[in-house]
Structure 1
């Protein structure tokens, strides 16, 4: 399913191609382009079992509620989500992942996984383990408040 509003990878290196699961190619005629914001929003929604209040998505993604509204509107136009009445508060509207949205998210996950596998394939098992250990150490420091980070 093609989308006229989407950005092909040649114009935006951060775009994620969703296709039949094969690696991204600019010549794939049936590819559907998912922008990083769309991917992040679909991923957050999928992480909440496919249904969430916009305020919950905003908190998950650390963005303003107006930004989530714009993201949901874009995903709605693409048929990836729908707005439905909340089951806990009849004044509220939730966002629900459609089958098309789940397929786009899963396709993007497959493409991302294939690219990670390709890139990490350049390393031996020992090197991948070392890289993982080093990145874990960096992440632990990055997650600490700045006033408690160790000094050398």
Structure 2
């Protein structure tokens, strides 16, 4: 099982899994030619491709968009923005360098993504945003194990 491998061994599996989605590969390839100062392909198109491949669905099924984030390194980085996505599963970004090397930003690792676990990330995202997304995603991927919002004292 991929999620039980050390992270450095999960990365080739991540690339193999995402490579099933031709649109995702096209976006990565084209973005790499734009000479942007900093960018990531991020969020839904990545983890939803993994969920689709893991559950035997067509790789592009249900993916609404492909979010390409670009930033000026002098400003707040998109790593910091990615850190605030509503679920830890969403906190994933990939960029391609001119040598076809994938740079992966996954502050919460990859285990939950491959295990179909949706875990809230209450850093800045409101509870309602997480719960709305979780409900929608669980309808599309009923295999997801959705974890509840952490209760505060």
Q: Give yes or no for TM over 0.5.
A: no
Q: TM-score by structure 2 length? A: 0.24
Higher-Rg member (1/2):
1
